[in-house]
Structure 1
Amino acid sequence: MTIWEMLAVFAAGVGAGTINTIVGSGTLITFPVLVATGLPPVTATVSNALGLIPGSISGAIGYRAELTGQRRRILRLSTAAAAGGLGGAILLLLLPSTAFETIVPVLVALALVLVLLQPRISRAVQRHRDREGTPGNPDGGPLLITGLFLASIYGGYFTAAQGIIYLSLMGMLLHDTMQRLNAVKNVLAAVVNSIAALFFLFVAHFDWTAVLLIAVGSTIGGQIGAKVGRRLPPAALRAVIIVVGTLAIIQLVARR
């Protein structure tokens, strides 16, 4: 890896840590950069998962005030997230690399569609709650547990947009502020990344240079994201994610 490639990976780590803390989808920045440096897609995904752990923890710490009073909720949801993350990590290594290269562009495209639709879904659910006068379950119930388990399988397999999926599910099934749900999302992302990474450490190939660069960058980005998350207009951030994700899809398809 050249010095310029190292700088690009570090900068991508900062950007990913920032975006992951605010909304999610930071992998749509780091993954194409890692692939552009010459890493195979599976190796890039494993290295990315390992490198983003410090960023996820940094973002969760940055949102610690919003975590107050959510201990029970976090424990219940984290259990489902951990189980799903391990399942996704196992799938990543069991499926052939050709299948991975075929599936990832589809997953990224679905994630971008979700980025576009999430505000409308949230508004529709809130209107329904207001009309029916029924507040959401404080812990989301079995439906949320199941949804987060499935989303975490996806997150352990390929982390792009897992935060968006978490926010969408919690926004539909929990009655709470988006900032508090975002704080929970950061914890869940840290859990999934950590579980998957522990599995990868023993059975998968990864690039230590990429891991360290993303780890340092995402840690810095996590703190930046926590500070600016309440100020950045959601529409602007959503536009950045869509642009980066579209470029990622183009790059992935071109490699096939």
Structure 2
Amino acid sequence: MAGEELVRMENINKFYGRIHALRDVSLRIDRHEVVGLLGDNGAGKSTLIKVLSGAVPLTSGDIFVKGKKVEIKRTTDAIANGIETIYQDSALVPQLSIARNLFLGREPVKGPAFLNRLDHETMGAVARQLLKKVGITKDIPPETPITALSGGERQAVAIARAMQFDSDLIILDEPTNNLGVAETQGVLRFVREARDTGHSCIFIAHNIHHVFQVVDRIMVMRGGKLVADDIDPKKTTIEQVERVITGEHLLH
């Protein structure tokens, strides 16, 4: 049974010169849903995500958020519509502290606004809360610079930032790449946590095993097209999905 629609993309096309990177892609993401987006390199996954996150403009097609048609021409448009994207490098500022990164560009100030005095107490308190929420159990001071964190902890901070600004849809682009086993489990736990706290997620990963652990539904892209959008991980094997990705066998 379909849930309540959050995001819908209709007939999305993207050309880079003569290269037709996205071909009439239509999809929907419901509220409280984690969707896995799979496909080989060059299948169109990254381009689709860049269009939805405002990193590249679409050539033609429509995007709807909560039933309303929206224009997403830049990343600020996506963020204004409740869509946050966490890329592999997670776009954190390594020299700044955890707390500053969580509030980057949206820092709370105290006292008269023109003095621009940052409210470090509030940022620190919120940072501690958020880090717990995304599964960092050890007590890392909020003033710790990002450079001092492991790869998994950095991902956690990036995910915490997306949760902090109450995005409806969190897009995770290869969040488990180059992570150790414990850190990967942490990221997968964040995804479940995000869904449990009312967010939707699009989870892109090369590792199908990771996808199968957390998603409600799997979509597969091949050659710039969406070739499957309703694979149920509970009723499908990893091998079957791999065959859909390579085009050897289409699910009936």
Task: Give the structure-2-normalised TM-score.
Answer: 0.29
User: Which has the greater radius of gyration?
Assistant: 2
Q: If each structure's helix is expressed as a fraction of its own residues, which one has the higher value? A: 1
Higher relative contact order (CA 8 A, sep 6+): 1
Task: Give the structure-1-normalised TM-score.
Answer: 0.29
Q: If each structure's strand is expressed as a fraction of its own residues, which one has the higher value? A: 2
